[in-house]
Every structure is written in C-alpha cells, then in structure tokens.
Amino acid sequence: MYDLIGDIHGHAIQLKRLLQKMDYKEVNGVWQHSTRKAIFVGDYIDRGPAIRETLHIVHAMVTNGKALAILGNHEYNAMAYATQLPDGSYLRAHNERNSKQHGATLRQFKDYEEEWAYYLQWFYTLPVFLQLDGLRAVHACWDQDHIDWLKSSGLSAMNYDLLLASHKKGSKAYDVINETLKGKEIAIPQEHGWFDKDGHLRTENRIKWWCEARSSYGEFLFNCPEALRGLQIDPAFKINNYPTDEVPVFCGHYWLSDQVPALQSGNVVCLDYSIAKGGHLVAYRWNRDERLSQEKFVVVE
C-alpha cells in the first residue's frame, strides 16, 4: 500500500498537512505510517518558501525506509546547474532564465553550502523511474522504449556520464532523459505560440503521452491554445503511447489547474496540481488489486 505524492516545490507546511491528513506521524524526526509507505514523484526544490525543510522531510523518510523518491526535472536541472565544465562554463547555463527558476533554492541554501552539496550528491541516488509490483512511477513520461534503454544500459539513477550525455542534443541519452523527466512535446504552428507560466514564448506543447495521436490538437495537448483546439494533427505524427492494458503509472510535472483532481485515464494519474502557483498538493492512496478511483485522492491547499 503506497501513498503517491505530487510535486512539492518547497511547500513543507502543505506537505506536513498532507501527511497528517493521511495519518502519518512524526517520530524522532521521521514522518511515517504504521502500514503504508509514501512515494514522491519528484520536484522537491525551487519556487517554494521552505525548500530546505522539504528536503529534510523527504530525505529522512527515504533514508529511514518510510518512503521512496524519484528524480524530478528540477533536481536534474539543479545537478546540471552545479556541474562546472573544464572551460569554466556550467552544464546548465547560469543565464537569467535558469537562475530565476533555481533562485529560491540558491537563496535558501546560501548559508548552508555543505548541506546543499550533500543534497546534490543525494539526487544522484534517486531513480529516474520506479517499477514495483502493480504500479509504476515516473516524473513526466513513461515510454517503455526509454525505460528499456535505461535498463539495458544498467541505469536506474543518474550518474555523471549520463548527466553529461543527456545534455547533448541529438543523442539517445538526451531524448530518453529529457522525455522521461520533462515530457514529450509536439511543435505547433508558429502563429499559435503562447506564453507559459514564467512568461516564455512557447511554440511547442507537451502532449498527453498516454493517448493515441487523435484528430485534433485539443484532445492531445496540454495547455492547448484556443485557436488550435479544432485543428487536425498531421496524421503522420505517431508516438509510443502508454497502453491501456498496462499497470497504473503515476507522474507529476504538468501543472494541472483543475480544482478537483481527476484520473487522466484508466491507468494514468498525474499528481501535480500547481501547489507552487496557488494550487493544491495532491496524493493518491494506492492499494494493490484495486481499480483506480477518484475517491483515492487526498488534497490540501
């Protein structure tokens, strides 16, 4: 029995309230349940007011066997931001956009550099995906070909070589890691570009990777521009969508804004409901051999 918890982004107060709502207790500094275990689906850092405390909670639960945790794209980005190359540059550029996205974490660890260095190394131990008996978890996208590539390469967690390789556009590692941690995207017509939550112009949209490419953009895209909703997708576009007969897979990442959490399909659950933008922190209480149900969501604001 697992309780899967969505993107926290440094909102430790809401995390503690969510754990309490699910009958977890803090014992000797470790949140725990007598019969259940938590699974965190990534994005513990950035944006929020209590990033250090969030990491303390998650780390303590994981290292004491009370939770499992996977890597999110924000932890991945932090690892790259901190990785200096021989020429003095950084794997993730220290430009205005990246520094702004990562700024809350850097400010909150300003006087705790050794502690931050420890967490950066801990991120290397977090698996990119989890495949358990009866469920799967990934931060953004479960593509079985990508998972098989990681397995065949003997990789479940990030390492230094994979971190470097995954920043080389056009490489297999780039495609696998970026789609697994950041999702799949499709280019949209230039005239329908839109501005995301951080004010950046987007001409690509994340796709609902569990769906087959259908007749219209509106059925297939996250944040579909209104003018695109009824337009047809090029029939030549294909994806390796998540089969409807596979075990349930849980993810985060997508900044959903619905007031009430909903199943994305009969076997796909997204748990990111935009806590860092005034939304909700969401969990799903999974029990083996039960069908997915709306009644299993737990929500705090």
- Orientation angle between helical segments 113-123 and 51-63, nearest 10 degrees: 50
Domain ranges of the chain: 2-183+243-300, 185-238
Return all residues near 30 (Cβ < 8 A) that are at least 6 apart. 60, 61, 64, 66
| Secondary structure (3-state) at 78 | helix
Residue 52 confidence class, pLDDT cut points 50, 70, 90: very high
Radius of gyration in angstroms for the set of CA atoms belonging to the chain, rounded to a whole number: 19
Q: Which residues contact 236 (CB under 8 A, 6 or more apart)?
A: none
pLDDT in tens, 99-133: 999 999 999 999 999 999 999 999 999 999 999 99
pTM value is 0.94
Could you tell me the pLDDT band of residue 191, with boundaries at 50, 70 and 90?
confident
Domain 2-183+243-300 has CATH 3.40.630.40: no
> Residue 222: is its pLDDT beyond 90?
no
Question: At residue 172, what is the residue type?
Answer: K
What is the Cα–Cα distance from 165 to 149, expressed in whole angstroms? 14
Give the whole-angstrom CA distance, residue 228 versus residue 117.
45
pLDDT at 10 over 90: yes
Q: Do 146 and 156 meet the contact criterion of CB atoms below 8 Å apart?
A: no
Q: Which two tokens stand for residue 63?
A: 């290292």
